[in-house]
């Protein structure tokens, strides 16, 4: 596709429910990143994929958070038993590994836990 896409754009869920957030990277981009951005704050790194392996999971805040990636395409970020502090915008970015160092970002998913 022309850019990184994310779905849904907005998600409202009740506390305790599980949610899945989806990211479609730019075709051919082997590296994929997930970030969390709380209201008015900077980007908090969550996890990085190179292909479908995740060499860096250091940013996942708890074992309620997990992510997977199918080959070099779609990635899903799953949050189990959501808490109100999980409310944030979740941004996905991709880049063409070693060919270019800038990351291309999707529009984000705004998650609201009520």
Q: Is 90 in the site for other proteins (CB under 8 A)?
A: no
Rounded least distance, CB 66 to other proteins, Å? 18
Q: Is 49 in the site for other proteins (CB under 8 A)?
A: no
Rounded least distance, CB 16 to other proteins, Å? 27
Q: Which is nearer to other proteins, 16 or 61 (CB)?
A: 61
Distance set, CA 54 to CA 16, 64, 81, 95, 103 (Å): 26, 17, 23, 15, 17
Stretch that binds other proteins, among 62-70, 71-79, 80-88, 96-104 (CB under 8 A): 96-104
Stretch that binds other proteins, among 12-20, 32-40, 60-68, 72-80 (CB under 8 A): 32-40
Selected from 48, 72, 77, 113, the binder of other proteins by CB under 8 A is 48
Euclidean distance between CA atoms 99 and 60, whole angstroms: 27
Distance set, CA 77 to CA 18, 35, 37, 91, 98 (Å): 11, 10, 14, 10, 24
Asked if 34 and 94 count as a contact pair (C-beta separation under 8 A), the reply is no
Asked if 102 and 95 count as a contact pair (C-beta separation under 8 A), the reply is yes
Q: Is 32 in the site for other proteins (CB under 8 A)?
A: no
């Amino acid at each position: 596709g022309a850019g990184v896409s994310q779905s849904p754009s907005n998600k409202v869920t009740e506390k305790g429910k599980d949610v899945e957030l989806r990211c479609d990277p730019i075709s051919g981009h082997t590296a994929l990143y997930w970030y969390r951005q709380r209201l008015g704050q900077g980007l908090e790194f969550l996890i990085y994929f190179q292909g479908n392996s995740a060499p860096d999971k250091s940013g996942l805040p708890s074992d309620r958070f997990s992510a997977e990636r199918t080959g070099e395409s779609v990635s899903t970020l799953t949050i189990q038993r959501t808490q109100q502090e999980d409310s944030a915008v979740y941004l996905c970015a991709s880049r063409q590994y070693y060919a270019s160092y800038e990351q291309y970002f999707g529009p984000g998913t705004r998650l609201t836990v009520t």
